[in-house]
Amino acid sequence: MRAVNKSKSEETRGRILSAALHLFRERGFDQTTMREVAKEAGVALGSAYYYFESKETIVMAFYHQAQDKMVAAIDEALPKQKGLKARLRTILDVKFEHFEPNRKFLGALLAHTADPKNPLSPFSEETRDLREKDAAQFAMALENSGVKVPDDLKPDLPNLLWMFQMGLILFWMYDRSPGQKRTAVLVDKSLDLVVSLIKFSGLPLMKPVRRTVLDVVHAVSGD
Amino acid sequence: MRAVNKSKSEETRGRILSAALHLFRERGFDQTTMREVAKEAGVALGSAYYYFESKETIVMAFYHQAQDKMVAAIDEALPKQKGLKARLRTILDVKFEHFEPNRKFLGALLAHTADPKNPLSPFSEETRDLREKDAAQFAMALENSGVKVPDDLKPDLPNLLWMFQMGLILFWMYDRSPGQKRTAVLVDKSLDLVVSLIKFSGLPLMKPVRRTVLDVVHAVSGD
DNA sequence: CTCTATTATTGAACATGTTCAAAATAGCAT
DNA sequence: ATGCTATTTTGAACATGTTCAATAATAGAG
C-alpha cells in the first residue's frame, strides 16, 4: 500500500501543485490567487502554505519537475546529433518545447533573474543545483562535437553557454512576435556566432584574447 | 510669490519624496512601508498615492533626479579625459559615485531589470528616455576619443556600451566584497576588454565578424 | 487498544500596497 | 463676497500573500 500509492501527503501536495499550474497556465501567475489555488485543490488556504512556502515556490516545483523531463529528453536526443551547432540547438529546442505551454507563468520566475538574492533567481544559491545540471548538459554537448576547446577555456565554457541560454530564454519569454518568430531568428544567428567564436578561440593567435576574456569571467564569478 | 516659492503642491510632493528616500536609505526599500513614508512626510497615506502612483515610482523619481546630476557631472568631466578607456571610466565613476549612498534601495529598481514589462525595468518603454540620454553620453565618450569606429558599428555601439554599463551596475549592486572591491577589478579588466574589442573591430579582417555580431544585435533589438 | 508524538489541516488574523468616495481647500469668474 | 470648479487631502476599505495558534488525523510504541 505504501509502495503502490503515493502517501496521502504526497497526493495532497500533488493536487495543490496541479491546481496551481492549471490556474497559472490559464490565467497567468499574477492573476491567480492562492485562495483560488486552495479552493481548486479542495484544501484550506493554510494547507497550500504547509506544502509550499510561497506562491513562487510552486513555480519552482514545476521547474524541478520540468528539468527532469528535459534532461531525459536531451540525453536521448543528443547522441543523434553530430556538429556543435546541431547539438547546442538540440538542447535549446528541448527547452523551448517544454516551456512553450507555460510561457504565461514562467515569466514569474524569470522576472527575478537579475536579483541573485531572490531564491527564484537562476543565479541564486537555491537554484545552484538546477544551474549545475544544466551546465553539465552543455559540457556533454561539447564533448563529442568534434570541436577542439582550448584547455584554459574548458572549465568555463559550459557556464558561458548556460548564460547564453538564459539570455535566449529571457528573450523568448518577452518575444511578442507571432510564434516567437524573432526568437527563432535570434537563436539561429547567435548560434552561428557562438560556434564561430568557440572555433576561433582555438587559434594560437587568440591566446591573449582568451586570457582577457577569462580574466573577466573569473572576476564576475568570484575568482 | 508663485515664481519664488515652489507651489504648495510641489512642496508636498517634495516632502514625500525626501521622506521616502530618507527612509529607503536608512532601512532599505522593502523594509519601508508607505504608511511610514506618509507619516514622516506629515500627510495621510492617500496623499502619497496622489503624488506617486506606486511605491516604486518614488524610486523612479529619484532616478530622474539623479540622472540630471550625473549628466551634468559627466558633461563637465569628460572633456578632460583623452583616451577611450579613461573616458568610459569617467562615466562609470560618476555613476558609481552617485549611486553609492543609495545602494540599499537602488536594488529595488534593478531587481526588475530582466522584466521589460515592468515599468521600472531599464528596458521598459517607460524608461526609454533615461536609456537614450544615457546612450548619448556614451556616444559622446566615443566622439573625441581618437578611436576610429567602423561606420556599420557606429549606430549600435553606444547602446552596446549602455548594456555593458548596466551589467557592471548590476554586478556592483550585488557585490558583497568590502567597498565593492571586486567591482573595481571587474570594471578595470572589462574596460580593457571592451576597448580592445572596439579597436580590433576596425581591422579589415574583422568585417565578417562585425556583420555576424550586428546581425545578432539587430535580431535582439527588433531589426 | 490506548496513549502520545508527529504530521496535516484549518481559517482567522496580519501586513501592506493600493483604490476610492467623500471632504476640505484653493482658484477664479461673476 | 458668492458660487462653481478643479485640486488636494483624507482615511477607511480592499486584495492578497503570508503567518500562526488551535484542532484534527495519523502513526507508532507499549
User: What pLDDT shows up at residue A126?
Assistant: 83
The predicted-structure confidence for B29-52, as pLDDT tens digits, reads as follows 999 999 999 999 999 999 999 999
User: What pLDDT shows up at residue A6?
Assistant: 62
The predicted-structure confidence for B86-133, as pLDDT tens digits, reads as follows 999 999 999 999 999 999 899 888 888 888 888 888 888 888 999 999
Q: What grid cell was written down for A189?
A: 544567428
Mean pLDDT of A184-212: 91
Residue (of B113, B218, B87, B205) closest to B156 by Cα position: B218
> What is the separation, in whole angstroms, between the first and last Cα of chain A?
52
Q: Is the pLDDT of residue B5 over 70?
A: no
Q: Is the pLDDT of residue A40 over 90?
A: yes
Residue (of A60, A181, A67) closest to A112 by Cα position: A60
User: What pLDDT shows up at residue B3?
Assistant: 40
The predicted-structure confidence for B142-193, as pLDDT tens digits, reads as follows 999 999 999 999 999 999 999 999 999 999 999 999 999 999 999 999 999 9
Residue B154 touches partner A, C-beta closer than 8 Å: no
Long-range contacts of B169-178 (CB under 8 A, 24+ apart): B169/B95, B169/B96, B169/B99, B169/B110, B170/A114, B170/B110, B170/B113, B171/A220, B172/B96, B172/B99, B173/B103, B173/B106, B173/B107, B173/B110, B174/A115, B174/A116, B174/A117, B174/B107
How big is chain A by its Cα radius of gyration, in Å? 20
Run of H or E residues at A140: helix A128-143
pLDDT > 90: what percent of chain A? 74
Question: Among all strands, which nt has the closest C1' to B51 (CA)?
Answer: D8
Question: Among all strands, which nt has the closest C1' to A44 (CA)?
Answer: C10
Q: Who's near B218: CB < 8 A, 6+ residues apart?
A: B156
For A177, the closest chain B residue by CA position comes to B222
CA–C1' span, A46 to C11, in Å?
Answer: 8
> Which of A114, A185, A219 is closest, CB to CB, to B111?
A114
User: What pLDDT shows up at residue B108?
Assistant: 82
CA–C1' span, A48 to D26, in Å?
Answer: 20
When the pLDDT of each residue in chain A is averaged and rounded to a whole number, the result is 92
Contact flag B190-A118 (C-beta cutoff 8 Å): no
The predicted-structure confidence for A101-143, as pLDDT tens digits, reads as follows 999 899 888 888 888 888 888 888 888 999 999 999 999 999 9
User: What pLDDT shows up at residue B1?
Assistant: 37
B150: DSSP letter: P
Q: Name the residue with the least CA to C1' distance from nucleotide C26.
A: B8
pLDDT > 70: what percent of chain B? 97
Residue A136 touches partner B, C-beta closer than 8 Å: no
Residue B215 touches partner A, C-beta closer than 8 Å: yes
Q: Tell which wins on pLDDT, A219 or B39.
A: B39
Q: Check whether residue B46 has its CB closer than 7 Å to nucleic acid strand C.
A: yes
Question: Which residues of chain A (43-62) touch nucleic strand C at CB < 7 A?
Answer: 43-47, 49-51
**Cα–Cα dist B47/A189, whole Å:** 51
Contact flag A182-B219 (C-beta cutoff 8 Å): yes
Q: Who's near A90: CB < 8 A, 6+ residues apart?
A: A74, A77, A78, A81, A141
Q: What grid cell was written down for A86?
A: 546541431
Residue (of A180, A163, A32, A31) closest to A99 by Cα position: A180
The predicted-structure confidence for B71-80, as pLDDT tens digits, reads as follows 999 999 999 9
